[in-house]
Chains A and B, each alone.
Chain A
Amino acid sequence: MRAAAEKGHTSAASLPGIPRASKLITSAVAAKSEATTSSPSTKPGHEVLLFEALQEGLEEEMEKDPRVCVMGEDVGHYGGSYKVTKGLAEKFGDLRVLDTPIAENSFTGMAIGAAMTGLRPIVEGMNMGFLLLAYNQISNNCGMLHYTSGGQFTIPIVIRGPGGVGRQLGAEHSQRLESYFQSVPGLQMVACSTPYNAKGLMKAAIRSENPVILYEHVLLYNLKERIPDEDYTCCLEKAELVRPGKDVTILTYSRMRHHVLQAAKTLINNGYDPEIIDIISLKPFDLYTIGNSIKKTHRVLIVEECMRTGGIGASLRSSIIDNFWDYLDAPIMCLSSQDVPTPYAGPLEDATVVQPPQIVKAVEQLCQ
Chain B
Amino acid sequence: MAPSISTFRRAICTRVNASRFLASPSPFRNFSSSTEDSTPFTVDIAVPFKGHKIEPPPQVVETSAKELMTFFKDMSRMRRMEIASDQLYKSKLIRGFCHLYDGQEAVCIGMEAALTREDNIITAYRDHCTYLGRGGTLPEVFSELMGRKDGCTLGKGGSMHFYKKENGFYGGHGIVGAQIPLGVGLAFAQKYEKMKAATFLLYGDGAANQGQLFEALNMAALWDLPAVYVCENNHYGMGTAEWRAAKCPEYYKRGDYVPGLKVDGMDALAVKQAVRFAKEHALSKGPIMLEMDTYRYHGHSMSDPGSTYRTRDEISGVRQERDPIERIRKLILFKEIATVSDLKNIEKEVKKEVEDAVAKAKESSPPDASELFSNVYVKGYGSQVFGCDRKHSTATLS
A residues adjacent to B (C-beta < 8 A): 23-24, 26-31, 69, 95, 98, 100-101, 103, 105-119, 136-137, 140-141, 146-154, 156, 185-186, 188, 204, 208-210, 235-237, 284, 319, 322-323
List of B residues within 8 angstroms of A237 by Cβ: 381-383
Contacts of B141-177 to chain A: CB distance below 8 A = 151-154, 156-157, 161, 163-165, 170-175
* Contact B378–A109 (Cβ < 8 Å): no
Residues A109 and B163 in contact in the complex (CB < 8 Å), given A69-B192, A149-B157: no
Known: A109-B216, A111-B185, A150-B157. A322 touches B381 (CB 8 A): no
Contact with A along B56-97 (1 / 0, CB 8 A): 000000000000000000000000000000000000000000
Give 15 new A-B contacts, CB below 8 A, not counting A114-B188, A117-B190. Answer: A24-B380, A106-B212, A110-B181, A110-B219, A114-B189, A115-B185, A116-B182, A117-B120, A140-B174, A147-B375, A150-B156, A152-B153, A156-B378, A237-B381, A237-B383
B202 at the interface (CB under 8 A from A): no
Q: CB-CB contacts of B359-383 with A at 8 A, as 1s and 0s?
A: 0000000000000001111111111
Known: A137-B181, A322-B390. A209 touches B216 (CB 8 A): no
Contacting pair B157 A208 (CB below 8 A): no
For residue B222, CB closer than 8 A to chain A, the reply is yes
Q: How far is the CA of A106 from the CA of B384 in the complex (A)?
A: 31
In the assembled complex, the Cα of A151 lies from the Cα of B393 at a distance in Å of 21
Q: Smallest distance from the beta carbon of B228 to chain A beta carbons, Å?
A: 14
Determine the chain B residues whose CB is within 8 A of the CB of A111 once the complex forms.
185
Cα–Cα, bound, A214→B242 (Å): 42
A49 to chain B, nearest CB (A): 27
| A204/B182 contact (C-beta < 8 A), A26-B398, A147-B375, A322-B390 known | no
Q: Are A109 and B178 in contact (CB under 8 A)?
A: yes
Cross-chain contact of A105 among B163, B211, B381 (Cβ < 8 A): B211
In the complex, chain B residues whose CB is within 8 Å of the CB of A31: 382, 398
* Candidates A105, A151, A154, A156; contact of B212 at CB < 8 Å: A105
- Which residues on A sit within 8 Å (CB–CB) of B173? 140-141
Q: Which residues of B contact A101 (CB under 8 A)?
A: 215, 218-219, 222
Known: A105-B212, A110-B185. A152 touches B219 (CB 8 A): no
Cβ-defined partner of A151 (8 Å) among B183, B374, B383: B374
Q: Would you call B290 an interface residue if the criterion is a C-beta within 8 Å of the partner chain's C-beta atoms?
A: no
Q: How far is the CB of B222 from chain A (nearest CB, A)?
A: 7
Nearest-Cβ distance from residue A158 to partner chain B, whole angstroms = 13
| Cα of A98 to Cα of B163 in the assembled complex, Å | 28
On whether A29 and B186 interact (CB within 8 A), knowing A105-B212, A114-B192, the answer reads no
Tell me how far the C-beta of B170 lies from the nearest C-beta in chain A, rounded to whole angstroms: 6
Contact between chains at A236 and B376 (CB < 8 Å):
no
Contact yes or no, B390 A208, CB < 8 A: no
Contacting residue for B396 out of A28, A69, A141, CB 8 A: A28
Question: Which partner residue on chain B sits nearest A149 by CB separation?
Answer: B163
Cβ < 8 Å to A, chain B residues 228-276: none
Are A95 and B191 in contact, CB atoms less than 8 angstroms apart?
A: yes
Is A114 in contact with B185, judged by CB distance below 8 angstroms?
yes
CA gap between A95 and B378 in the complex, in Å? 27
What are 10 A-B pairs with beta-carbon distances under 8 A?
A28-B396, A28-B397, A29-B384, A95-B223, A106-B212, A110-B188, A119-B188, A149-B172, A150-B152, A236-B381
Give complex CA distance A180, B60 in Å: 55
Decide if A26 touches B381 in the complex (CB within 8 Å).
yes
Give the Cβ gap from B87 to chain A, nearest Cβ, in Å: 25
Contact for A103 among B178, B192, B219, B385, CB less than 8 A: B219
Whole-angstrom distance between the alpha carbons of A111 and B181 in the complex? 8
Contacts of A119 in B (CB 8 A): 188-189, 192-193
Does A113 lie within 8 Å of B181, measured CB to CB?
yes
Whole-angstrom CA separation of A153 from B156 in the bound complex: 14
Residue of chain A at shortest CB distance from B393: A30
Which residue of B156, B164, B192 contacts A148 across the interface (Cβ within 8 Å)? B156
Task: Report the separation of the CA atoms of residues A27 and B192 in the bound assembly, to the nearest whole angstrom.
Answer: 34
Q: How far is the CA of A31 from the CA of B384 in the complex (A)?
A: 12
Cβ contact within 8 Å between A113 and B182:
yes
Which residue of A has the minimal Cβ distance to B174? A140
Inter-chain contacts of B182 with A (CB < 8 A): 109-110, 112-113, 116, 137, 141
Q: Does B198 contact A (CB under 8 A)?
A: no
Contact B378 A146 (CB under 8 A): yes
**Contact of A149 with B171 in the complex, beta carbons under 8 Å:** yes
Residues of B within 8 A of A116 (CB): 165, 170, 182, 185-186
A209 nearest in chain B by CB position:
B378
Separation in Å of the B224 CB from the closest CB of chain A? 11
A90 to chain B, nearest CB (A): 19
9 residue pairs, one from A and one from B, having the closest CB atoms: A113-B185, A109-B181, A28-B382, A113-B182, A103-B215, A28-B398, A106-B215, A150-B154, A150-B153
Expressed in whole angstroms, the Cα–Cα distance for A319 and B180 within the complex equals 38
CB distance from A6 to the nearest CB of B (A): 9
B215 touches A105 (CB 8 A): yes
B391 interface residue (CB < 8 Å to A)? yes
Q: Which chain A residues lie closer than 8 Å to B188 at the CB level? A: 110, 113-114, 119
Residues of A within 8 A of B180 (CB): 106, 109
List, in ascending order, chain B residues with CB within 8 A of A322's CB.
390-391
Residues of B within 8 Å of A109, CB to CB, are 178, 180-182, 184-185, 212, 216
Q: Residue of B at shortest CB range from A323?
A: B390
CA distance A204 to B181 in the complex (A): 26
Known contacts A106-B181, A137-B181, A210 near B380 by CB under 8 Å = yes
